[in-house]
Structure 1
């Protein structure tokens, strides 16, 4: 923990991370933040993680794929004028719908438009994905805040991502729904890294117990290994930040929960620091293939 904390301090001072960092030489790293059910803190985690990664010197874009809810805008207190729905219906360009978020992160609001992915014609799908593809070479990370639960749309976004972060809580239904999500991904051929974050826990022991239950079931029945990214305790700081529409890493930067997010950001960067995205298919091409193959949401 001390080594990680020291490295984090160095990164935060800009000694390692830089805006010009280019270890992702071809395409952005695409990460899907997802959950088996709603109410587990998925969107809150995604936005705070994005800010922490941005502070380490990387360009970060958050794609709000939680359809029609505008949760990211609510949690950050910003108002994004245009959404993906405007790109589809009004002919806006992708650069026109990218909004400015806290600490310089970029945000694309899903509005109500992404739901149309299941019913739009091939031409519109091609246009949307072509527009999103333009962003892959302009940023280091694309963090996708998926909808909660299991649907074809959610599965498609996770399947197309380079790796996923699944948020769960100690609640038995949350653990079961998380396992169901993992099973659905595995059954559909997902082979990316599955990171687990246990949220709203009372202690590290409860966090590890929750992870171990999920990992044991996944090992036994699905023959896959999960990766423990970290945990966040129950904390009044989070609820206050939500009410004030300010991410807690900004409103309470010295709090334990903010430090935990920062450590997770560091772990995530470290785990990808030697990786170059050299896939012949990027996120948008994989998503396009999945949509045409599977269809529907």
Structure 2
């Protein structure tokens, strides 16, 4: 009987062969950005959703992928009912275009559903189909925003490891800072080498936002020799609380508010400092996920 690792290695070879036949074609390659956190309740999904909309308003094509397995937080916060999920590609033989839904301000939304945990257990035919459909996402957008679950589960770490870059959302709560450190330590042990960006959320002011970042950055540098990148802060405000209750992203409901303007400036700064590079043997997001699952099969 062929083991799981061998099956996945053969799929990777098939994917590579197919790719080599198309290497002369010009293909858009979205930047895949994982937004994650060490613990729940820090506003990760709310940031991911509003950040995605801000990118879209700047003229980028954006897809937000809800990879928080078994939950539907992006769906709830956006007020959009995602009737299909990535699992339906296998279960109902849908293609990715049938799974994508239109979200606020024109962003595209994809639900991971509850089937992502079983991705590595699919048979060869279904795994290859899933791979091809996920690849389509990266060729139709400028950014794919992955809203992961919180914590350091294997599913969370797999999605972050397959991404080009990561944003970690933390708060002044000491447990949030400590859990963010634990997440960074786990990523480091997995060999993550890309930029680690930090957002400090639910702070009282600019000073507290920078103080929270400094605490986390000092710990990661002193013990892990990792330097973090500070993207900015988001203050506590009833505008955000009301937007969550009303299921309308605050950048849509209050576009001229201070918090929306700060987020837009943060987005502009982020995109203006983008470094485009070819890495990881030019593998796509889907191929990197497949590679991670094949390594898991060997463990």
TM surpasses 0.5: yes
**TM-score of the superposition, structure 1-length normalised?**
0.88
Show the counterpart of 2:41.
Answer: 39
CA 1:295–1:31: 2 relative to 1, 3 Å: farther
In the alignment, the residues of structure 2 paired with residue 173 and residue 125 of structure 1 have an alpha-carbon distance, to the nearest angstrom, of 38
Q: Within 5 Å, which residues of 2 pair with 1:1-297? A: 26-272=28-274, 274-277=275-278, 279-295=281-297
Shift of 1:127: 2.3
Matched-pair contact (CA < 8 Å) for 2:38–2:152: yes
Matched-pair contact (CA < 8 Å) for 1:194–1:226: yes
Shift of 1:113: 2.1
Matched-pair contact (CA < 8 Å) for 2:170–2:199: yes
Matched-pair contact (CA < 8 Å) for 2:28–2:140: no
Matched-pair contact (CA < 8 Å) for 1:25–1:276: no
**TM-score of the superposition, structure 2-length normalised?**
0.87
SS at match of 1:84: coil
SS at match of 2:129: helix
Q: Per-residue displacement from partner, 1:78-113 (whole Å, max 9, x unpaired)?
A: 112211121121111111100000111000012222
Unaligned runs of 5+ in 2: 1-25
In the alignment, the residues of structure 1 paired with residue 126 and residue 297 of structure 2 have an alpha-carbon distance, to the nearest angstrom, of 14
Shift of 1:116: 2.1
SS at match of 1:216: helix
In the alignment, the residues of structure 2 paired with residue 124 and residue 220 of structure 1 have an alpha-carbon distance, to the nearest angstrom, of 45
Unaligned runs of 5+ in 1: 1-23
Matched-pair contact (CA < 8 Å) for 1:29–1:277: no
CA 1:295–1:248: 2 relative to 1, 3 Å: farther
Question: Which one has a bigger Cα radius of gyration?
Answer: 2
Matched-pair contact (CA < 8 Å) for 2:28–2:142: no
Question: How many corresponding residue pairs?
Answer: 272
Shift of 1:291: 1.1
In the alignment, the residues of structure 2 paired with residue 295 and residue 263 of structure 1 have an alpha-carbon distance, to the nearest angstrom, of 43
SS at match of 1:135: helix
Shift of 1:120: 3.2
